[in-house]
């Protein structure tokens, strides 16, 4: 069992002509915008306050960086 197995996982990915913030395994986006910084602001706020594991992807789908925050 890994460190992040029971954490809520989120992703910021390129989508259509913009960016989206989603919870892993869900189809509906939490936030979408043409501007990546607007999506990042919402994603970082949610992970900061609710805890979780955020994977931020580049436009080509590769991982750019990871943010984790445990709240308990």
Residue 1 resides in a domain = no
Nearest alpha carbon to residue 57 among 3, 4, 20, 16: 20
Residue 17 resides in a domain = yes
Q: What is the phi/psi pair of residue 57, to 5°? A: -105, 155
How many domains does the chain fold into?
A: 1
Residue 51 resides in a domain = yes
Residue 4 resides in a domain = no
| 71 pLDDT tier (thresholds 50, 70, 90) | low
Residue 2 resides in a domain = no
Residue 3 resides in a domain = no
Residue 25 resides in a domain = yes
Q: What is the phi/psi pair of residue 28, to 5°? A: -80, 135
Q: Which domain holds residue 40?
A: 9-69
Q: Under a CB-based contact definition with an 8 Å cutoff, are residues 12 and 19 in contact?
A: yes
Question: How much is the average pLDDT of 40-48?
Answer: 95
Q: What is the pLDDT of residues 6-43, one digit of tens each?
A: 889 999 999 999 999 999 999 999 999 999 999 999 99
In this predicted structure, the answer to whether residue 70 has a pLDDT above a threshold of 80 is no
**Would you state the pLDDT for residue 5?**
76
**Would you state the pLDDT for residue 13?**
97
């Amino acid at each position: 069992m890994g460190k992040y197995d029971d954490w809520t996982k989120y992703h910021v990915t390129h989508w259509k002509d913009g960016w989206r913030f989603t919870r892993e395994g869900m189809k509906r986006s939490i936030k979408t915008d043409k501007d990546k910084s607007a999506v990042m602001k919402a994603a970082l706020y949610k992970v900061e306050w609710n805890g979780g594991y955020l994977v931020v992807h580049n436009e080509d789908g590769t991982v750019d960086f990871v943010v984790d925050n445990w709240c308990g």
